Structure 1
Amino acid sequence: MKQEKKNDVAVLLEYAGSRRGLTFLGLALSAVSMLLSMAPYICIWLAARDLIEAAPEWTQAQNVSKYGWIAFAFAVSGIILYFAGLMCTHLAAFRTASNIRKQGVAHVMKAPLGFFDSNASGLIRGRLDAAAADTETLLAHNLADIVGTIVLFLSMLVMMFLFDWRMGAACLLAAVISVIAMFSMMGGKNAKLMAEYQAAQDRMTKAGTEYVRGIPVVKIFQQTVYSFKAFQEAIEDYSSKAEHYQADVCRVPQSVNLTFTEGAFVFLVPVALFLAPDALANGSFAGFVADFVFMPYFQPSFPLRLQK
Structure 2
Amino acid sequence: MPPAPPEAGPEARPPSPLTVLLGPVRGRVATAAALQGAAGALGLVPLVCIVEIARALLEAGPADPGRLWTQIGLALAGAVASLLAGAASALVGHLADNDMQLAVRRSLAAHLSRVPLGWFSGRGSGRVKKALHDDIAEVHSLVAHTLPDLAAVVAVPVAALAYLLLVDWRLGLVAVALIAAGILLFARAMAGGTAKLAEAARAMGDINAAAVEFVEGIQVVKHFGGHRRAHERFLRAADAYADFFASWSRATTPVTVASFLLLSAPMVTVATVLAGTAFTAAGWSDPVSVVAFALIAPALCAPMNVIGSRVQQIQGAAAAAARVAGLLAVPPLPEGEGGVPRDARVVFDGVRFAYPAQDGREAEEVLRGVDLVLEPGTVTALVGPSGAGKTTLATLPARFHDPTAGSVSLGGVDLRDLPSEELYRNVGFVFQEVRLLRESVADNIALGRPGASRADVEAAARAARIADRIERLPRGYDSVVGEDAELSGGEAQRVSIARLILADPAVLVLDEATAAVDPVAEADIQDALGELARGRTVLVIAHRLATVAGADRIAVMESGRIVESGTHDGLLARRERYAALWSAQNDGGEQGEEQ
SS in 1 for 2:282: helix
What amino acid does structure 2 have at the position aligned with 1:47? I
Give the AA of the match of 1:290: V
1:227 aligns with 2:230: yes
Equivalent residue for 2:20? 11
Instruction: Give the CA deviation at 1:14.
Output: 3.1
**Aligned: 1:164 with 2:168:** yes
1:195-223 deviations in Å (ceiling 9; x for gaps): 32222122222222323323334454555
Out of 237, 244, 251, the position equivalent to 2:253 is 251
Contact 1:186/1:194 (8 A) holds in 2: no
What is the aligned residue count?
Answer: 294
- AA matched with 1:304: A
Q: Deviations over 1:245-293 (max 9, x none)?
A: 22x123212321232222114532442243123328xxxx6xx111111
Name the amino acid aligned to 1:145. D
Matching residue within 143, 147, 167 for 2:147 = 143
1:302 alignment partner AA: L
The normalised TM-score by structure 2 is 0.46
Secondary structure of 2:256's counterpart equals helix
**SS at structure 2 position matched to 1:110:** coil
| 93, 97, 102: which one aligns with 1:98 | 102
Of 302, 308, 320 in structure 2, the residue corresponding to residue 304 of structure 1 is 302
C-alpha contact (below 8 Å) 2:263/2:304 kept by paired residues:
no
Superposition map of 1:1-308 within 5 A:
1-2=7-8, 4-16=13-25, 21-54=27-60, 60=63, 62=65, 63-188=67-192, 191-221=194-224, 224=227, 227-246=230-249, 248-262=250-264, 263-279=267-283, 288-308=286-306
Say if 1:225 and 1:231, in contact at 8 Å, map to a contact too: no
CA distance in 2, matches of 1:222, 1:301: 61
Calculate percent identity across the aligned residue pairs. Answer: 23
- Supply the distance in 2 between the matched residues of 1:224 and 1:290 (Cα, whole angstroms): 72
Contact 1:40 1:71 in 2 (8 A): yes
Q: d(CA) in 2 for partners of 1:211 and 1:156?
A: 55
Task: State the secondary structure of the residue aligned to 1:239.
Answer: helix
Which amino acid is 1:39 matched to?
A: V
Mark the structure with the bigger radius of gyration: 2
Contact 2:272 2:297 in 1 (8 A): no
Q: RMSD of the TM alignment (CA)?
A: 2.5
8 Å CA contact 2:43, 2:78 repeated in 1: yes
Query: Is the helix fraction higher in 1 or 2?
Result: 1
8 Å CA contact retained: 2:36, 2:89: yes
Q: Give the AA of the match of 1:115.
A: W
Give the letter for the 1:45 counterpart.
V
C-alpha separation between the residues in 2 aligned to 1:257 and 1:50? 37
Moved more, 87-96 or 168-177: 168-177
Q: Structure 1 residues 219 and 304, CA, compared in 2 at 3 Å: closer, same or farther?
A: farther
Q: Distance in 2 between matches of 1:149 and 1:138?
A: 14
Q: 1:265 to 1:23 in 2, by over 3 A?
A: closer
Contact map agreement 1:204 1:235 (CA 8 A) in 2: yes
1:221-246 C-alpha deviation (Å, 9 max, x unpaired): 55546523322211111111122222
Aligned 8 A contact 1:23 1:92 in 2: yes
The structural deviation recorded for 1:178 is 2.6
In the superposition, relative to structure 1, how do residues 133 and 191 fare at CA in structure 2: closer, same or farther (>3 Å)? closer
Instruction: State which drifts further: 80-89 or 7-16.
Output: 7-16
User: Contact between 2:161 and 2:172, CA under 8 Å: does it hold in 1?
Assistant: yes
Aligned in 2, Cα 1:107/1:257: closer, same or farther, shift over 3 Å? same
Check 1:289–1:181 CA distance in 2 against 1; reply closer, same or farther (3 A cut).
same
Q: Distance in 2 between matches of 1:291 and 1:32?
A: 25
Answer with 82-91 or 196-205: which moved more: 196-205
Aligned partner of 2:230: which letter? S
